[in-house]
Structure 1
Amino acid sequence: MTTSTATTETETLRKAEWKVRTELAAAYRLVALFGWDDLVFTHLSARVPGPEHHFLINPYGLLFHEITASSLVKVDRDGQVVESGGLARVNPAGFTIHSAVHMGREDAGAVMHLHAADGVAVSAHRDGLLPLSQTAMLCLDHLSYHDYEGVALNLDERERLIRDLGDKSMMLLRNHGVLTAGQDVPETFTYLYFLMKACEIQVKAQSCGPTWMPSEQAIQTTAEQSQSLGAAAKLTWPALMRLLDSKSPGYGV
């Protein structure tokens, strides 16, 4: 490999990483904008392009609306900080959950985990997510469950978490929250939006009294129609960026 070729490849990877950094910082800002954040807790992460097993996660201590592309922390598969733009602390529980998915699923370019109230409420419901809305029915075929084992500090839990996630893109962490995984930040956030909206609708519907269930045929038809759900990111992400640029600019620095 010539010096010129190596320099070009390095520059290409640098630009690719900055794109991921900008998208992930935007996702943090969007979570805050939608009111899904939990002070400095919970995490969104993304794999860094390149041969190393590195990924980006929030510095432990910043609020989500403060996150910028340059403030994200780059860590390796052992949770060791590789690069930081300021705060270099990483929440150990965040590393446990996110490293499990990134290492266990090659297709998981991004992982998002929230403690938003409606998501936690549905995760604690005996029957989990119910087909009470079109939004929920679009999620059901993508959804898995993982039982609560305590604050995620035990690295042994990673094997069980990835086993329970399987090949799904959405998960309810029982008594804990929600998790989504996708090929990139836009797709993963789109899954997150649908799952959170389904949970919000369920909490409201069940607070109104007895609910109406659709037919099994309708549930199955919607499941079949949901197979391309992640592709909605091609429309949703540019629209979300326009929203964010008007409400919370500055994430891409």
Structure 2
Amino acid sequence: MTSRSIPLVPPEFSSVEEERRHRKERLAAALRLFAVHGFEDGVAGHITARDPGFQDHFWINPIGMPFSHIRVSDLILVNDQGEVVEGEHRTHEAPFSIHSAIYRARADVQSAAHSHSIHGRAVSSLGEPIEPITQDSCAFYNDHGYLDDYTGVVLDEAEGKRLAAALGDSKAVILRNHGLLTVGTSVDAATWWFISMERSCQAQLLAKAAGKPIYIDDASAALTHRQLGGEFVGWLNFQPLYHQTVRTQPDLLE
């Protein structure tokens, strides 16, 4: 494999340290991508990665730092009590309450992404799911939950548990009057699902504003979900975005 080759299978690791570094690099790039896609809204929004050595700890972006500035060295490690145990920056209650509850409920989840993206917020206010009106939206067919009320900013354990319950076994959840959240077995997949879900929301809003969408039938939607909704597909779709980001913003690896 040459230095310019891009592997098209998920990597294997020889040590926890190697895997930790890999996850942090993907996490820093994911945050840069959120900035590029306009998913940043003040201090709202966060992506996390479970630490491979301490399953009840996770890495997260520090509060108040622009997504476009985040480097690997800026990421902070938070324990199961919400305490920063590594890093020089701070977090706050909302991301801890959300992400800690998800990691407790889902042993398979290694990363979670949440932001107040504009089209996700719009769809979240309508009380409707992502509908099977395009090929891409079928990745979420019968594979996303809905938190059906809004009680304010998620700042405590009980609210986090409600969110995790609404997510269930799916890859994503719509938070009513709030936005979107996606999860994955890798930072790569969780981030791609968020980007794809936001785009699906945008397509849904545009289609309904223009007329009456033609829906994909249930059998075809289910088949397309099996073809496009798996974790490997999520991981794979993130690869060109990651390599483009590292090539154009190499300082993120510092």
TM-score when scaled to structure 2? 0.88
- Extract unaligned runs of 5+ from structure 1: 1-10
Amino acid at match of 1:235: L
| Aligned residue among 85, 88, 105 for 1:82 | 85
- The structural deviation recorded for 1:179 is 0.6
1:19-48 deviation digits (Å, cap 9, x = unpaired): 111110010001111112212221100011
Which residue is equivalent to 2:22? 19
> Using the alignment, how far apart are the partners of 1:36 and 1:152 within structure 2?
19
Aligned to 2:59: 56
Aligned with 1:101: secondary structure?
A: helix
Distance across 2 between alignment mates of 1:224 and 1:234: 15
Q: CA deviation digits over 1:164-212, x for unaligned, max 9?
A: 1111111111110111111110111122222111111112112213322
**Aligned-pair distance for 1:119?**
0.7
The answer on 1:237 being equivalent to 2:230 is: no
Distance of 1:94 and 1:51 partners within structure 2? 18
Specify which of 15, 19, 39 is matched with residue 36 of structure 1.
39
Q: Which has the larger radius of gyration?
A: 1
Query: How much does 1:227 deviate?
Result: 4.5
- Indicate if the aligned counterparts of 1:102 and 1:108 stay in contact, CA closer than 8 A: yes
Alignment partner of 1:196 is 2:198:
yes
CA contact (8 A) 1:190 1:232 kept: no
The answer to whether 1:115 aligns with 2:116 is yes
Whether 1:176 aligns to 2:166 is: no
- 1:116 deviation in Å? 0.2
- TM-fit CA distance, 1:52: 5.2
- 1:173 is matched by which residue type in structure 2? L
In structure 1, the partner of 2:70 is 67
Question: Residue in 1 aligned with 2:156?
Answer: 154
Contact 1:139 1:226 in 2 (8 A): no
Q: Report the counterpart of residue 5 of structure 1 in structure 2.
A: none
Moved more, 151-160 or 100-109: 151-160
Q: Structure 2 vs 1, CA of residues 66 and 159 (structure 1 numbering), >3 Å: closer, same or farther?
A: same
| Cα distance in 2 between the residues matched to 1:62 and 1:218 | 43
Q: Distance in 2 between matches of 1:102 and 1:231?
A: 20
Contact preservation (8 Å) 2:78, 2:86: yes
Matched with 1:131 is 132
1: CA distance, partners of 2:161 / 2:37: 31
User: Following the alignment from structure 2 to structure 1, what is the Cα–Cα distance between the partners of residues 207 and 174?
Assistant: 19
Q: Is the contact made by 1:77 and 1:99 (CA closer than 8 Å) also made in structure 2?
A: yes
- On the 8 A contact 1:39/1:64 being kept in 2, the answer is no
CA distance change for structure 1 residues 207 and 249 in 2, over 3 Å: closer, same or farther?
farther
The 2-side partners of 1:216 and 1:237 are apart by 27
Cα distance in 2, alignment partners of residues 136 and 15 from structure 1 = 34
Moved more, 23-32 or 141-150: 141-150
Distance change in 2, residues 1:249/1:163 (3 Å): same
C-alpha contact (below 8 Å) 1:47/1:110 kept by paired residues: yes
The alignment of Structure 1 onto Structure 2 pairs a total of residues equal to 240
State the percentage of identical aligned residues. 32
The range that moved more, 205-214 or 27-36, is 205-214
**Would the aligned equivalents of 1:123 and 1:129 in 2 still touch at CA under 8 Å?**
no
Q: Deviations over 1:78-103 (max 9, x none)?
A: 1011011x32x112111111111111
Q: 1:59: Cα distance to partner?
A: 0.8
> How far is the alpha carbon of 1:222 from its aligned partner?
2.4
Q: Secondary structure of 2:28's match? A: helix
